[in-house]
Chain A
Amino acid sequence: MQALRKRTTIIALYLSVGLLATACKQTEGNPPFIPGRATATTKPLGPVSITIAWDANIEQAVNNTGGGYFVCYNVDADCDDTNALGLLNVPYVSGVAAPTTTTIPDIKLRAPHVYNIRVRAYSILRPLGGSWGPAMQVTVPR
């Protein structure tokens, strides 16, 4: 019975992730925020990492030496320069374009939580990058 329940939970989890992984409408201020609902009864989810992708910026300087992307992520709150759980650098390495995918590493959180993720491009001219793109939210459910 216990094993059966666990399997059911995992299936529901995958479905939920698919449904709840939504890109929010971009605004100049904070995007819509879905508060977390962690409770004391929440079980550890175990290692979780999230792989995301985005559309390549068309500016040549992004896709060249000194260019690339920053990925900002936070949990249960929006992310920006001053408020981030983590900030990943995805630099241009070689070839025609900088990478457009990365994996946010395991941060060993208890579910459920909402990951807020934004991406912005940077270049040798703007090492701090341009404006953050629209927030994407991924809910990792119970």
Chain B
Amino acid sequence: MTRKKTICILTLFKDMTFFCAILVMTTLATPHARAQQQLQLDESEKYVPDEIIVKFKAAASRTQRQHAIGRRGHRKMRDLGRPELTQIKINRGEDLKAMLSAYNRDPNVEFAQHNYRYRATSTTPNDPLFWQLWALKNDGQTIFSWGGPNNPNSTNNPGVTGYDMNLPAAWDYLTDCSSVIVAVIDSGIQYNHADLVNNMWDGSGVGAPNHGWDFVDNDNDPMDQNGHGTHVAGIIAAEGNNGVGTTGVCWKAKLMALRALDTTGAGTTGTIATAVDWARAQGAKVINMSLGGSTPDPTLATAIDNARVADIVVATAAGNNGKNNDTIQYYPCNYSMSNIVCVGAIDQAYQYASFSNFGQFNVDIAAPGTNIVSEWPGTVTAITDPLSNPPGGWTNVGGGWGYTTLAVSGTPYGALVNPANYNHFTATYADAADNRMYQTFNLTGADVATLEYYLARDFTANDSIKTAYFAGGGDPFAAGMPTLLDSLTGTSSGTAQRQEYDITPCIGMTCSIGFQVTSDATTHSFGAAILLFQLNLLAYNLVSYNVTEGTSMATPHVSGLAAMIRAMNPSFASANTIEQLYLGARTLNTLIGSVKNGRVADAWGSVSYLRPTTGTHLVSIQY
């Protein structure tokens, strides 16, 4: 008995013959049993107590086999791949050892053995933040902030154990996607980050020594000045099992950094479509586009269609407006090209994320998108100003400005306003005004700086509010000095709109930032209110992380999986890859209506999926 069992297990490891594969696999106790290629005996509970595996002799007839089981009052559970190998349930309370002996003495039995228990092993990386990556392995853990600028969302945090993409099981088979170039069209990548540096694409042979291209500044340095692209890249392929930071869907990969979004996270047709073309020309096989907009763009559509012809999978975000993409168009998600995979976001309990756009016809698949911990280009510090009296460091030139408190969605905020008695009802700014308000800030130590605030505005034609900075301090609107960031007129229709500007050139000890209201001599309106004024300072390092959420975070989970599928199946076309992604997906009834067929990306399911074999036909009959 022991000898036979040993032979079988060895055979499984060496040859994977059918007989032993069947025998071992049927001993896996749970429906989630996976990773069959790495099985270990569980010494604490070796076998199923009321089951026996019997191998009948080949000469034993069906009747003899049935009789051998039936006369002992036992029940055949199933044939294990062939009739002579049978799994048998013995009676409750019977002596298992005695029954084994009885079967082994039966002249029709070749051998009988325990139904041994095995457990699937799965590959767990040694990365210190792996335990926070619920998307890859959800243990019901609570997700925390990791020093980045964002805090975790409290909804379904913690979530539900088992609601994850089943990565450890898939990693048993494949962790290395480095045969596939994954282009990240985003805000760039902090390509020197300790957890990314070894997974960057080498473009030195094509004049891209920094692993990609910067289409915003049109140079060869796609360093991330925002953080979004680095976070996305880490989800796809933060180096796995290197004892550093997080773990990507792929442990090894070739990440191509294509900076098409600027410091504030905004891009254009020109930067994005050109990046798609560049990725195609350089051999990318997966493109991640965690971006989108509401307007159809023929140039971008053509670039993506050219990528389709070049056999490239394009994973793109469904959008974060909580809208229905089946009725409100969102691009590239809603383009009809067959190489597009539009990705919606689900949370730690596999509920559709409230912010995620949905659509049972236009959102192809869902993936984890809330509370995702990943790499960040450096530390972020914020300089805020309460915009309340007393005015602090603000200097007023020409009058007109004042402070008040405004309620936004019921929450009161300090506001810098012009006119000083701003009420958005009766008070108006002055005619022929030149009212300036500025403050000087110390931005030393930062590598990247942005200015962010919310603005409600009502101006008539020829009147406006301007925003400017000056690195030398003092009035940024003084003659010859200003670097004008914006000049806005018209109305924001009673809403406060977010404004964000790159002020990196202003970094230094004396960066003055100011606002100016100018008006003509005739008409006037309610003026301006500035709220939530903030300066964001990014100082690069190689060891920063952040938690954030969005369909932007769901999309790279799918891009990584597409890279995994292509790495495993080098002959797969993009269509095969996408088919594999969908056929291996988990389906949840609760998500039908939100995403096509209720699909959720599942790494193990897609990596291991086997199509039904077709084309079976008769060749010949031999008599």
- Please list the residues of chain A having a beta carbon within 8 angstroms of any beta carbon in chain B: 10, 14, 17, 21, 23, 26, 45-55, 57-62, 65-66, 69-70, 81-82, 84-87, 89, 91, 101, 103, 117-134, 136, 138, 140
Contact = CB atoms under 8 A, between A and B. Distances in A.
Interface in B586-623: 607-623
A78 to B, nearest CB: 14
A126 B612 CA distance: 13
Given A54-B615, A119-B613, 18 more contacts: A48-B621, A49-B621, A51-B618, A52-B618, A54-B613, A54-B614, A58-B569, A60-B568, A61-B173, A61-B568, A61-B610, A65-B16, A81-B78, A86-B83, A122-B21, A128-B25, A130-B610, A130-B611
Interface residues of B, number: 40
Scoring B17, B21, B608, B609 by chain A CB atoms within 10 A of each residue's CB, the highest score goes to: B21
A51 B619 contact: yes
B18 interface: yes
The secondary structure that dominates the A interface is loop
Interface of B: 16-19, 21-22, 24-25, 36-37, 78-79, 81-83, 173, 568-572, 576, 580, 607-623
A126 B610 contact: yes
Given A58-B569, A58-B572, A127-B36, A133 B16 contact: no
A6 to B, nearest CB: 12
Scoring B37, B81, B576 by chain A CB atoms within 10 A of each residue's CB, the highest score goes to: B81
Nearest to B580: A59
A54 B617 contact: yes
A53 B568 contact: no
Nearest to B573: A58
25 contacts: A17-B621, A47-B622, A48-B621, A50-B620, A52-B616, A57-B610, A58-B569, A58-B572, A59-B580, A60-B569, A61-B173, A66-B16, A81-B79, A82-B78, A89-B19, A120-B612, A121-B610, A123-B608, A124-B37, A125-B36, A127-B22, A130-B609, A133-B613, A134-B612, A138-B621
Contacts of A69: 613
Nearest to A61: B568
B475 to A, nearest CB: 67
Contacts of A66: 16, 37
Scoring B569, B618, B622 by chain A CB atoms within 10 A of each residue's CB, the highest score goes to: B618
Given A58-B576, A128-B22, A138 B615 contact: no
Contact of B621 (A123, A126, A140): A140
B610 A133 contact: no
A54 B82 contact: no
A54 B612 CA distance: 11
A52 B18 CA distance: 19
B603 to A, nearest CB: 11
B614 A133 contact: yes
Given A46-B623, A84-B82, A125-B37, A138 B611 contact: no
9 closest Cβ pairs, A-B complex: A130-B610, A55-B615, A89-B18, A127-B21, A21-B618, A125-B608, A133-B613, A66-B16, A51-B619
A124 B16 contact: yes
Given A60-B570, A82-B79, A131 B612 contact: yes
B128 to A, nearest CB: 29
Contacts of A82: 78-79
Nearest to B569: A60
Given A60-B568, A125-B173, A131-B612, A48 B25 contact: no
A103 B623 CA distance: 12
Contacts of A53: 615-617, 619
A89 B17 contact: yes
Contacts of B79: 81-82, 84
A136 B611 contact: no
Nearest to B62: A85
B40 to A, nearest CB: 16
A65 B12 CA distance: 12
Contact of A59 (B81, B609, B618): B609
A86 B62 CA distance: 12
B617 A136 contact: yes
Nearest to A127: B21
B612 A132 contact: yes
Contacts of A60: 568-571
Given A23-B616, A52-B619, A81-B78, A123 B610 contact: yes
Nearest to B608: A125
B614 A59 contact: no
Contacts of B611: 57-59, 121, 130
Given A17-B621, A82-B79, A84-B83, A122 B610 contact: yes
